[in-house]
Chain A
Amino acid sequence: MRRVWLCGLGVLAFGLALSLSPRARAAEPVDFAMEVLPLLEERCFKCHAASFRGRKKKPKGGLRLDGSGWILRGGNGGRAVVSRKPEVSLLHARISLPDSHDDVMPPDGDVFAKAEIDLIERWVREGANFGSWKGADGPKTVVPTKTDPETATTPRKVTPSIDRYAIYRQLAQDLKPASMGALKALRAAGARVTSVVPGSPLLRVEFMQDAAMVTDATLKILTPLRKHIGMLSLDSTKITDNAATILGTLPHLVRLDLQRTKITDKGIEALAKTPPRHLRRLNLYGTGVTDQSVAAMTRFTGLRRVFLWKTKVSSAGVQQLRSMLPQCEVSAQRILPTPEQPSENGNRRRRRN
């Protein structure tokens, strides 16, 4: 009982400290040696440093964090810290994985608290400045390079395996499960309704079967569940630009599939007036949107992925979108491989000599 009490107190005190400290230092940049280094020492050095308590062992994953040169070099998986880009910095990516993930760092002991992760993210975003700290002498060779000329081509992009459902977990935190009545009504209207992740109150709503029967009017049934909709697919439905008024009222919408609908620039512009704050993925392939939508889309600042194949968006428009939303991957070009020779016969011919 007493231990629980103490723990509770500890959590309270910690929470208090967190809620106060960022405000106090909001304008000041993060001091690496004072704020970040102690965290790394405590949680990471056991495996990611040259020696620990006099015991010599190889740093795990080829990553050392005990010197600024080592940190910048990164490990076998790629760069640990990319200045100003926490989203591609593996150090940040691996500590922000959910607790249950296999790759979360550290593997034993306490994982990083939200505030600590935010601190490290802020430090990277501010330019990963080490101040006067240098730590252990840096590596002699700066970047590990592959040298097999037979197989070496262009270096591959390192994409850290980030849990794609983390955002849904975050958004679902204060959400109560949807009412059974509203779910029933939605299903009765032909929607497939599932949880975005098993057990989550956030919903994935799709009009999969007989999508051609779904119109703007059908979407009214979304309103009672507006806070619960995380993913919505209207692929091949008969919705029009008027649907935007309802789509704009879905605060937790992360993924929106509008491909092969009658949506036009007007709809996208209407949606951009109240852009869903968490919208990350927007599929518009096979719609009539043009470069006009690109201007509107730059207001969806959280976008990470947009599909514009078979639309009227020009390559200049795609370019503009890429430069306005640098974190967003835009799929647009017609990439089906074209036949290089007369197509082969259905029946395989066998060569005999």
Chain B
Amino acid sequence: MRLRRYLNGFNSVARRDFISGAAKGLLGLTTVPWMTKFAQAQEAGKIPLAAATARNVIYCYMAGGMSHLDTFDLKPGAATQGPMKAIKTNADGVLVSQHFPLLAKHMDKVAVINSMNSTQGAHAQGRYFMHTSYQLRGTIRHPSMGAWLENMRGRVNTKLPAHVVVGGGAQMATNGFFDASLTPLPVGDPTSGLANSQRVEHVTAERFEHRIHRLEDMNKAFRDKFKARELDDYSKVYQEAMRLMDSKDLESFDIDKESQTVRDAYGSGRFGQGCLLARRLVERGVRFVEVVSGGWDTHSENFDQMADLCPPIDRGLSALLADLDARGMLDETLVILATEFGRTPDIVEDRSLGRNHYPRAFSCLMAGGGIKGGRTYGKTDAEGREVIEDIVRVQDFNATMAHALGLPLEFKMYSPSGRPFTVAHDGKPVKALF
């Protein structure tokens, strides 16, 4: 029973896809061999992979829309700044808000992009856009960067999933129209390890194996009768889960293995511990870890809320950067801090100084993985309203990430209905950041 629950958690989206996929398959709706095409192209060496500056990504996602004026695009003296104070950092000319004193000591590693621009002003649409570079549509689901990465470059450690989402479920990061085996693994609570991944005590290894064989026998008849890719995907997920259960690498999900000093350094909140888990996973060959921090939708009491929201990010992110650097991992690990949009420069007074959604201009961070730190890129005007220099659209941001990972930006992959899609849509990488 515990295994079933574990598997459910492991791949809830896959189950949904599986059911809808199986239905389509049974009704004879889908027979497009897009994966085969890709596999062939990969085998023939036709995917023009480029030299990568990064091979892993730790993607910190501030769900809700992080205010750019109150974090990394400070406008000291402007009316739109409100009571937020700017502090200097160890990088010349880079300012951060008063809530990031620890990160200020690591800004030499970070490139601040102040000229982000999105076209989506609602949460679901904005998140989807940020994660996939495409707009949310009813007819298709696009894959997010972790799925593109795994699909094009494979896994580093074949026993561990390539793509993990910590603290946010799998609603945003998704395999999209790719193979269900590319679905990210959601980890709800970073401190509890990988849930339900141990055999229950009274089931011995032999008995467990026996049960699995039984399951295989039962499934085989069905599988032979209805040959469908989704069915193979599903049994692949089972096999992977079982390989992981037997592997020593399962330990990488267990942050209790870290010393208390290290755990304290990251901060005891979910975000900090999530960053620590992300580092452990990347160290053992997980390619893409998303760490989600929620609650940034500060329509009311923006300034009070920032005082609560920022410190865990300050602590977690600065510890992460320092830790990766000391271990020699920062040069190959791209650390991202992203969000769906910024917040209005105008302060809403009748909502106890709140800020509303603002996709026209916002800020994101990139560090490590070949990115040259200690500087800002792009500019907004004196009040943080409009991008006035070096605009970076959402798809350009993702193209920059893909460029760092050596993914071919022009390479088309086809959805089940035969439509072509590329890793960052029409994004152009910002090469000046490298």
Q: Assess whether A198 is in contact with B92, with CB atoms less than 8 Å apart.
A: no
- How long is the Cα–Cα vector from A340 to B267 in the complex, in angstroms? 10
Say which residue of A102, A192, A309, A344 sits within 8 Å of B156 (CB atoms): A192
B80 at the interface (CB under 8 A from A): no
- Bound CA span A235–B332, Å: 15
Q: Which A residue's beta carbon lies closest to that of B307?
A: A351
Is B327 an interface position by the 8 A CB rule?
yes
Q: Which of B92, B272, B304, B327 contacts A154 (CB 8 A)?
A: B92
Task: Please name all residues of chain B whose beta carbon is closer than 8 Å to the beta carbon of A345 when the two chains form the complex.
Answer: 268-269
Would you call A192 and B157 a contact (CB within 8 A)?
A: yes
Q: Is A209 a contact of B92 with CB atoms below 8 Å?
A: no
Cβ of A307 < 8 Å from any Cβ of B? yes
Among residues of B, the one whose C-beta sits closest to the C-beta of A309 is B326
Tell me the chain B residues, 298-325 only, with Cβ under 8 Å from chain A.
Answer: 301, 304-305, 307-309, 311-312, 315, 318-319, 322-323, 325
B93 at the interface (CB under 8 A from A): yes
The main secondary structure of chain B at its interface with chain A is loop
Q: Mark A317-353, 1 if CB is under 8 A from B, else 0.
A: 0000000000000010011111110011110111111
A141 to chain B, nearest CB (A): 19
> Which of the four size classes fits the interface of chain B?
35 or more
Listed stretches B28-36, B49-57, B392-400; interface member: B49-57
- Most chain-B CB neighbours within 10 Å: which of A209, A345, A352? A209
User: Which of A146, A152, A339, A348 is within 8 Å of B315, CB to CB?
Assistant: A339
Residues of chain B with a CB closer than 8 A to A257's CB: 328
B108 at the interface (CB under 8 A from A): yes
Which residue of the partner chain, among A155, A164, A208, contacts B157 with CB atoms under 8 Å? A208
Taking the complex as formed, is B88 at the interface, i.e. its CB lies under 8 A from any CB of chain A?
Answer: yes
- CB within 8 Å of A: which of B8-53? 48-51, 53
**Given known A-B contacts A198-B49, A198-B51, A350-B305, A146 and B319 have beta carbons under 8 A apart:** no
With A151-B92, A209-B247, A344-B267 already in contact, 14 other A-B pairs whose C-beta atoms are closer than 8 Å: A148-B93, A152-B93, A154-B90, A156-B375, A197-B51, A210-B159, A283-B327, A285-B327, A335-B325, A336-B322, A343-B267, A345-B268, A348-B295, A350-B304
Q: Is the CB of A208 within 8 A of B284?
A: yes
**A311, B105: Cα distance in complex, Å:** 24
Q: How many A-B residue pairs have CB under 8 A?
A: 140
**In the complex where A165-B51, A208-B156, A349-B308 touch, is A344 in contact with B325 (Cβ < 8 A)?**
no
Q: Are A331 and B325 in contact (CB under 8 A)?
A: yes
CA distance in complex: A7, B328 (Å): 46
**Dominant SS at the A interface?**
loop
Between A and B, 11 residue pairs with Cβ closer than 8 Å are A151-B95, A164-B370, A198-B48, A209-B247, A210-B249, A338-B265, A343-B264, A343-B267, A343-B315, A344-B269, A346-B268
Q: Is there an interface contact between B88 and A153, defined as CB atoms closer than 8 Å?
A: yes
Interface residue A174 (Cβ < 8 Å from any Cβ of B)? no
Task: Mark interface residues in A224-261 (1 if CB within 8 Å of B CB, else 0).
Answer: 00000000000100000000000000000000010100
CB distance from A347 to the nearest CB of B (A): 8
What 1/0 mask marks residues of chain A from 195 to 210 whose CB sits below 8 Å from any chain B CB?
Answer: 0011000000010111
Nearest 7 A/B pairs, CB to CB? A343-B268, A309-B326, A336-B265, A208-B285, A198-B49, A307-B328, A208-B157
